Amino acid sequence: MSDLVIHVVDLVREYQMGAERIQALRGVSLEIRRNEYVAIMGPSGSGKSTMMNVLGCLDTPTSGEYWLAGQEVSRLSDDALARIRNREIGFVFQTFNLLPRATALQNVELPLVYGGVGGRDRRDRARRALERVGLGNRMDHRPNELSGGQRQRVAIARALVNEPAILLADEPTGNLDSTTSADVMRVFDRLQTQGQTIVLVTHEAEIAAHADRVVTLRDGRIASDLRQDRTRAA
Amino acid sequence: MHYREAIRLALDSIRTAKLRSFFTVLGIVVSVAFLVAVVAIIQGMNAYVRVNLTEAMVGTNSFQIRWMPIEMAMLSDQDVVRMNKRPLVSLDDAAAVRAALPDAKAVALQTGWPTPAVEVAHAGRSMPNVITFGITPEYQVVYDYGFVAGDALADPDVRERRYLAVIGHEVATQLFDDPARAVGKTIHVARLPVRVKGVIAPKGKTLGQSLDTFVLLPMTVFETLFGRRLTTTVSVKMHTAAEVPAAMARAEEAMRRAHQLRPREENDFAVDKADALIAFWTSLTGVLFAVVPAVVAIGILVGGIVIMNIMLMAVQERTREIGIRKSLGARRRDIRRQFLVESVALATLGGLLGVAFGAGFAQLIAVATPLPAKVTAWSVAVSLLLGAGTGIGFGVYPATRAARLDPITAMRAE
Ligand SMILES: Nc1ncnc2c1ncn2[C@@H]1O[C@H](COP(=O)(O)OP(=O)(O)OP(=O)(O)O)[C@@H](O)[C@H]1O
Ligand SMILES: [Mg+2]
């Protein structure tokens, strides 16, 4: 098996809106290798989120192929996709999507709960994931007792805890101010150095500058796909 | 997700909304409490009727020849008016029955309703409301009385109208402290002086009332004092229960001959055994047992619909949570299990609460009234199964809806 983590071929995603048919993705082909750090950019409505949802197995394409870590996943059943999401994918959302009543630790434990990891092992792994994002001292806080940046780091810890093949982030700094954005980006940068494959969507050039490859979407198609020398915050 | 996890989640969400949870299951609580309490009371009454009332009223292996049947309360007014014309049961009837049943262990005559409740006094001490019967001696055999002091009444006591009495254990202790001291003393029964001949061994209590607060007088003495009763009764005791049905038939024949009834004429007396009382009681509780399930079923149905609604609301409120869980790898069955376990936990807690309330109510009845209400294991088991079953039955639909939610749409929900 090659080090290809993601391989999509001619991906199409259409939405039916009453009589109208909207093509959010109009044939996207893309390869992402292990440990790549990819930023996806593009104007609003260009299909970035649609693409991320398909890559994250939250959604299935209308047509096209999607190979994730060597497995074709575009035609799998609901439950099979849930399994893939649990094992292979870590997803970070713009709005954090933490469970408000659960503590940071319990939030991070969730993927392990559904992965069938129990007891002490589960707690230890969740704790380690929180330590990796610098929140070892906030485990028992609930989301409303954490700052936005801290919440997003909890979400990242949760995405990491199952050691996914790919970490996907859709505008992870979209709800954060510039200082906390920098904190969060430092976490992504460090993870990438440690070997994590990362794809993130952003509107901001500053954020995209952290990646070593920038894919630009326009009208559901890839307009450009460029490698760059990344700039890293100290 | 393991069941343990699902149960923890369910209890968490029930705990965070205690009041709402309580009102959600109120229907089940009330239905189950009703079921447990009513069954407890009926069972308690059953036990009481079977063990105490029948034996106390009729005696074992016994039957009675009465002016009116035992289940008089069930008769229509016309029947009662018609039966009022019947001749009274007499000493001659008792003699006729005795002649027809030489194998009987005892054939006795006793006075019945209205039973006088009178004051009994001795040397400054007294006891009010002591029920008083007039009897022939074999009555003491029919009821298996044993004597702790003195002797039973005998035939000459009746024939020669001797002013003697046999008294219950509690009367003896009340007036004399030691029952042995009572024998030979003169007591006043409704101001009539009579000498105590014997004290009967204690029979205990039922319905919170002592069975040992009575005075037995020779039939002849009783009638001098109180006049003839309407409901004088012949009691027959056989040696074994198996002999009873045939003996009843022979007694009926003897009575018809004594009353000179023609073949087509109906009996102007009643031949009853304890079974009649039990049958009467069983038919009464049978009605109750038919009504209780219907009431409980309606309660459970309403309770179940409430649970279903609340669970649908919970799914609605937690759409986002469901989306998040699915995005992290929860399969349909995980989500379904989470909500199903929650509705089952809710309904089962409701069932438990209902059992507690019902048992408490039964206990209250047992303490506050003479009825020995007793919670039965099967009604508790049925209640809990009913609770859990309701949770499953009415939880499936909301849980299935939750499980089918699409993660992206669900996460976008407010
Ligand atoms: N559930 C949906 N139903 C119908 N159309 C949709 C749906 N989701 C997305 N679209 C349409 O698909 C197109 C791409 O949407 P998408 O959310 O992928 O854009 P985006 O690049 O993420 O935009 P933004 O930068 O604003 O987040 C848009 O025209 C949008 O209206
Ligand atoms: Mg978007």
Dump pLDDT digits (tens) for A210-227: 999 999 999 999 999 999
Q: What tokens does A141 get?
A: 């806080």
Q: Which pLDDT value is given to residue B111?
A: 81
The reply to whether residue A110 touches residue B325, judged by beta carbons under 8 angstroms, is: yes
Please give, one letter per residue, the 3-state secondary structure of A97-142.
CCCCCCCHHHHHHHHHHHCCCCHHHHHHHHHHHHHHCCCCCCCCCC
Shortest CA distance from B6: residue in chain A: A113
Q: Which pLDDT value is given to residue B56?
A: 57
Any domain includes B206? yes
Any domain includes A142? yes
Rounded to whole angstroms, the Cα distance separating B5 from B322 reads 15
The reply to whether residue A114 touches residue B12, judged by beta carbons under 8 angstroms, is: no
Which of A58, A101, A162 has its CB closest to that of B407?
A58
Question: 């008769």: which residue's tokens?
Answer: B75
Any domain includes B202? yes
Task: Read off the pLDDT of each residue in A3-21 and give the average, rounded to a whole number.
Answer: 94
Residue A7 has pLDDT above 50, yes or no: yes
Span B307-362, pLDDT tens digits = 999 999 999 999 999 999 999 999 999 999 999 999 999 999 999 999 999 999 98
Any domain includes A166? yes
Residue B179 has pLDDT above 60, yes or no: yes
Q: Count CB neighbours of B155 within 10 A.
A: 11
The reply to whether residue A110 touches residue B331, judged by beta carbons under 8 angstroms, is: no
Separation in Å, CA B370 to CA A38, A152, B174, B210, B212: 83, 68, 22, 11, 16
Distance A71 CA to ligand 2 centre (A): 26
User: Of B187, B202, B228, which residue is a domain's last?
Assistant: B228
- Ligand 1 site, residue A46, Cβ cutoff 6 A: yes
Span B92-108, pLDDT tens digits = 888 888 888 888 888 88
Centroid of chain to Cα B172: 30
CA nearest to A84, candidates A94, A92, A74: A74
Residue B149 amino acid letter: A
Any domain includes B41? yes
Are both B18 and B121 inside the same structural domain? no
Domain that holds residue A151: 33-61+75-227
Question: 């039916």: which residue's tokens?
Answer: A16
The total number of structural domains that make up chain A = 1
Any domain includes B240? no
Domain that holds residue B128: 115-228
The reply to whether residue A99 touches residue B324, judged by beta carbons under 8 angstroms, is: yes
Considering B12-26, B198-212, B262-276, the range whose residues carry the highest mean pLDDT is B12-26
Atom of ligand 1 nearest to the CA of A220: 14
Distance B223 CA to ligand 1 centre (A): 106
- pLDDT bucket at A107, cuts 50 / 70 / 90: very high
Cβ atoms of residues B211 and B36 within 8 Å = no
What DSSP element (H or E) covers B99? helix B91-100
Distance A51 CA to ligand 1 centre (A): 10
Q: Which pLDDT value is given to residue B70?
A: 64
User: Of B228, B260, B283, which residue is a domain's last?
Assistant: B228
Q: Which pLDDT value is given to residue A74?
A: 93
Residue A82 has pLDDT above 90, yes or no: yes
The reply to whether residue B329 touches residue A114, judged by beta carbons under 8 angstroms, is: yes
3-state secondary structure of A185: helix
The reply to whether residue A85 touches residue B12, judged by beta carbons under 8 angstroms, is: no
Task: Read off the pLDDT of each residue in B137-144 and give the average, rounded to a whole number.
Answer: 84
Residue B117 amino acid letter: A
The reply to whether residue B1 touches residue A53, judged by beta carbons under 8 angstroms, is: no
Q: Which pLDDT value is given to residue A161?
A: 95
Choose one of A11, A16, A21, A22 to mutate for the ligand 1 pocket test, by most ligand atoms within 8 angstroms of C-beta.
A22
Rounded to whole angstroms, the Cα distance separating A37 from A189 reads 9
The total number of structural domains that make up chain B = 2
Any domain includes B203? yes
Any domain includes A215? yes
Q: Is the peptide bond before B398 cis (omega within 30 degrees of 0)?
A: no
Strand partners, A25: A13
Q: What tokens does B243 get?
A: 């002999």
Residue A2 has pLDDT above 70, yes or no: no
Residues 6+ apart with CB under 8 A from B115: B131, B132, B133
- Ligand 1 site, residue A111, Cβ cutoff 6 A: no
Are both B45 and B157 inside the same structural domain? no
Indicate which CATH number applies to the domain containing A113. 3.40.50.300
- Whether the CA torsion B171, B177, B181, B187 is positive or negative: it is negative
Pairs of CB atoms within 8 A across A/B: 56
Atom of ligand 1 nearest to the CA of A217: 21
Question: 């393991």: which residue's tokens?
Answer: B2
- From chain B, pick out residues whose CB is under 8 angstroms from the CB of A111: 328-329
Q: Which pLDDT value is given to residue B57?
A: 56
Distance A8 CA to ligand 2 centre (A): 19
Are both B144 and B221 inside the same structural domain? yes
Any domain includes B128? yes
Residue B72 has pLDDT above 70, yes or no: no
**Residue B222: CA count within 13 A, CB half-sphere:** 27
Span B241-250, pLDDT tens digits = 778 888 888 8
Any domain includes B280? no
Residue nearest ligand 1's atom 11 by CA: A24
Span B61-71, pLDDT tens digits = 788 888 777 66
- Ligand 1 site, residue A181, Cβ cutoff 6 A: no
Rounded to whole angstroms, the Cα distance separating B52 from B143 reads 12
- Ligand 1 site, residue A48, Cβ cutoff 6 A: yes
Strand partners, B214: B131
Q: Count CB neighbours of B37 within 10 A.
A: 24
The chain-wide mean pLDDT, for chain B, equals 84
Any domain includes B85? no
Any domain includes A188? yes
Q: Which pLDDT value is given to residue B147?
A: 87
The reply to whether residue B328 touches residue A114, judged by beta carbons under 8 angstroms, is: yes
CA distance A59 to chain B (A): 8
- Ligand 1 site, residue A16, Cβ cutoff 6 A: no
Rounded to whole angstroms, the Cα distance separating B276 from B131 reads 24
Rounded to whole angstroms, the Cα distance separating A25 from A212 reads 24
CA distance A1 to chain B (A): 25
Q: Which pLDDT value is given to residue A234?
A: 43
CA distance B350 to chain A (A): 25
3-state secondary structure of B19: helix
Are both B126 and B25 inside the same structural domain? no
Residue nearest ligand 1's atom 30 by CA: A45
User: Of B201, B228, B255, which residue is a domain's last?
Assistant: B228
Any domain includes A114? yes
Residue A181 has pLDDT above 90, yes or no: yes
